[in-house]
A and B are shown apart, each in its own frame.
Chain A
Amino acid sequence: MSLLEVRELTVGFPGVQAVRGISFDVPARGSVALVGESGSGKSVTALSIMGLLPKETASVRGQVYYGDELGKAARVRGSEIAMIFQEPMSSLNPVFTVGFQIGEVLRRHTGLAGRALRERVSGLLEEVGLPPARAGAYPFQLSGGQQQRVMIAMALACEPKLLIADEPTTALDVTVQRQILDLIARLREAHEMAMLFITHDLGLVAEIAEHVVVMREGQIREQGPAATIFGAPADPYTRALLACRPPLERRPMRLPVIDDFINQKKPETGERSRGLRGDEPTVLEARGLAKSFYFREGLFRKREVPAVKGATFRIARGKTLGVVGESGSGKTTLAWLLVRLHQPSAGEVRFDGADLLSLEPAAAMPYKRRIQIVFQNPYASLNPRFTVGQILAEPMRIHGIGTGAAERRSRSLDLLARVGLPAESLDKYPHEFSGGQRQRIAIARALTLRPELLILDEAVSALDVSVQAQLLNLLQDLQDEYRMSYLFISHDLAVVKYMADEVLVMKDGEVVEAGASDELFARPRHPYTQALLAAIPGRAQ
């Protein structure tokens, strides 16, 4: 018998149709995954099951049966149906202790009070793997993983029969993600809960769900048992989603993209080989590069927080150095040091014979042209008040490239074509583009200066997998064409494995392991690297 039945669910907002007539079941004690990219309607589906969409704007049609009763799902939310969200930090109230917030759920739904309440809260914290003493902690005193554990404790508080998890691990580091997934699996077993797991990551789904529903643009493209979806996907879109993630065991010349599958184009064969021969000229060499931040403590004392502790590495011409590590490992600080956005505490960076970091700002100008960076967030890195044409012309004007506005315009048009954007983009503003398109604009801006070294700081991390595949292909083409070197920073090991010739693994500001990409992924030596590799979803079986 199905615990939850969704029939012909349609959700519309003014101007957009978010969900277009979808039907699926969640069996009692079963686990179902809703998979799709951004804009596929998966979160809207979850919210409408819970009855959490704003009534003024959303028009919801179709039926949601919970335990064979129409409309019951919204009534039992919080007690029989619980939900956990993507951002634990913004889902917890910052001014109350976590113990109080867990207790609040119990007071509201079970009427527990006093000592019984405190004991139940301690029990819940213990169950999600937190020491009961943490009940007195405020959300900001906990890490992201611990916050998500608190959210899970709140969800469990009323012994729900159905848990809806909306991208619960997306904001977390891979090793933490692994712990949270294990925790959810264990609790589901112990409490005999059914689960609706919403994610964009097919790798996760393989581990956690028995039944998979693939959504795109508000419609279900395919649904079935996980084994069938992964073993023999019938829909071209599902096949594309599975194929466009960079594989860990091989390295195709190009990643397939969704259009290839929809148009039934034959995938290119051939593998790309990575690594250095050893005779490549060095573009940039860093020795003992370190950066500490200081925080004032009391009146006179300062507390030193080292972000990068003595990194030594070299980048070869036309090759890619990958940097992997979790949040707080110092990857971004390292990148910012190289483009002089931070002043280093110690160490030197030699670029073409000069010590880059000790140069005066004026003397550093010619080097700025040769080292460029693409930032992580394509929504923040473009000036919203500039047109694309102005964004691309500015670096050329500053560095005196091209003789006049007309020549710069024609160069900009060439670059736009090169990164796969239409010519009319030139007169548009950044907000008129999607995330992937904006990242193409950011890449084009960096390319206007024809840099020898391009730093990509999580440049594809915020994008959907299909868009990610297109951008990785583009970056690879550009490297082949211009012989640029890349410093490729990412927390995503599969992407780094695909792109990098050599890899640095960073932890707490330290480079714990460095080596050729193939070697490092095949035979990791440092325990931390081994833990990172073991935590990659879809790899555990």
Chain B
Amino acid sequence: MVNQKGVLTVSLILGLTGWTGIFRLVRAEYLKHKVREYVLAADVIGASPARRMFVHILPNVSHVVLVQLSLHVVLFIKSEVILTFLGFGVGVETVSWGSMLAEAGSELLLGKWWQITAATAAMALLVTAFSLFTDAMRDALDPRLK
């Protein structure tokens, strides 16, 4: 199954290899917060390590996750497009922005400009919408901005 072209394969490849950067950043952020006084204070009142990690630190580093999420969604969409365009992604029978762009080249020569325009405009719209969404989510989670 995995050695076939297809949506699942592309998702698996990107998912299994793409998390390392986020992991490193979030870990660094955790280490920074681990020695902050509010976390030490939680230790002193007896909060368990898990509680300190997930209840105390996680909400305070969630902005990193959100920013990374928005960057990575864009990156993954781009990767799918590139992979498919080069012929390593989803098959020609599946409609994706990548396969649309792959076909668009030859169609553009025939004067059919709307396919490449539509795919590009849709991609731009999604990327903008997603970064607005994560920004709004970060603000909604921050009590200082309420």
| A190 proximal to B (CB < 8 A) | no
Chain B nearest CB from A373 CB (Å) reads: 5
B38 touches A380 (CB 8 A): yes
Q: Which residue numbers of B lie inside 8 Å of A, CB to CB?
A: 36-38, 40-47, 51, 56, 59-60, 143-144, 146
Which of B42, B45, B51, B56 has most A Cβ within 10 Å? B45
Task: Report the minimal beta-carbon distance from A412 to chain B, rounded to whole angstroms.
Answer: 14
A–B Cβ pairs within 8 angstroms, 12 of them:
A368-B44, A372-B44, A375-B40, A380-B38, A381-B38, A384-B144, A395-B45, A398-B45, A398-B47, A399-B46, A429-B144, A442-B41
Q: How far is the CB of B2 from chain A (nearest CB, A)?
A: 41
| A399 CB contacts on chain B under 8 angstroms | 45-46
Residue of A nearest to B144 (CB): A431
Residues of A within 8 A of B (CB-CB), count: 26
Q: Is the beta-carbon distance between A394 and B45 smaller than 8 angstroms? A: yes
A375 to B143 CA separation, bound complex (whole angstroms): 23
Question: B41 — which chain A residues lie within 8 A by C-beta?
Answer: 373, 375, 381-382, 442, 445
- Complex Cα spacing A385 to B61, Å: 11
Which A376-411 residues have a C-beta within 8 angstroms of B? 376-377, 380-385, 387, 394-395, 398-399
8 shortest interchain CB distances as A-B pairs:
A395-B45, A381-B37, A385-B59, A429-B143, A380-B37, A368-B46, A383-B38, A375-B37
Chain B: minimal CB distance from A463 (Å): 16
Judging by beta carbons under 8 Å apart, are B60 and A384 in contact?
yes
Docked pose: A395 CA to B44 CA in angstroms:
9
CB within 8 Å for A369 and B46 given contacts A375-B41, A429-B144: yes
Name which residue of chain A comes closest to B48, CB basis.
Answer: A398
B59 surroundings in chain A (CB, below 8 A): 385
On chain B, the residues within 8 Å of A92 by CB distance are none
Beta-carbon contact of A445 and B45 below 8 Å: yes
Chain B residues, CB < 8 A from A232? none
Known: A383-B42, A384-B144, A385-B143. A394 touches B47 (CB 8 A): yes
Given contacts A429-B143, A431-B144, contact A382 B45 (CB under 8 A): no
Provide the residues of chain B in CB contact with A365, threshold 8 Å.
Answer: 46
Q: Decide: A339 and B60 in contact? CB cutoff 8 A.
A: no
CA distance A369 to B42 in the complex (A): 12
Instruction: Say whether A449 faces chain B, with CB atoms less than 8 Å apart.
Output: yes
Bound form: Cα–Cα A515–B36 in Å: 34
Taking a contact as CB atoms closer than 8 A, the residue among B42, B43, B143 that contacts A384 in the complex is B143
CA separation between A1 and B144, bound complex, in Å?
Answer: 50
> Chain B contacts of A540 at CB under 8 A?
none
In the complex, which residues of chain A have a beta carbon less than 8 angstroms from the beta carbon of B38? 380-384
Residue pair A372, B60 in contact (C-beta under 8 Å): no
A341 at the interface (CB under 8 A from B): yes
Q: How far is the CA of A384 from the CA of B37 in the complex (A)?
A: 11
Q: Chain A residues near B47 (CB, 8 Å)?
A: 394, 398
What is the chain B residue whose CB lies nearest that of A383?
A: B38
Which residues of A, 466-520, contact B by the 8 Å Cβ criterion?
Answer: none
Q: Do B60 and A385 touch (CB < 8 A)?
A: yes
Q: How far is the CB of A44 from chain B (nearest CB, A)?
A: 24
Flag if A377 contacts B46 (CB, 8 Å): no
State the Cβ distance, B47 to closest chain A Cβ, in Å: 6
Report Cα–Cα, A445/B47, bound state, in Å: 13
When distances are taken between beta carbons in the complex, the residues of chain B under 8 Å from A394 are 42, 45, 47
Q: Of B37, B56, B143, which contacts A377 at CB under 8 A?
A: B37
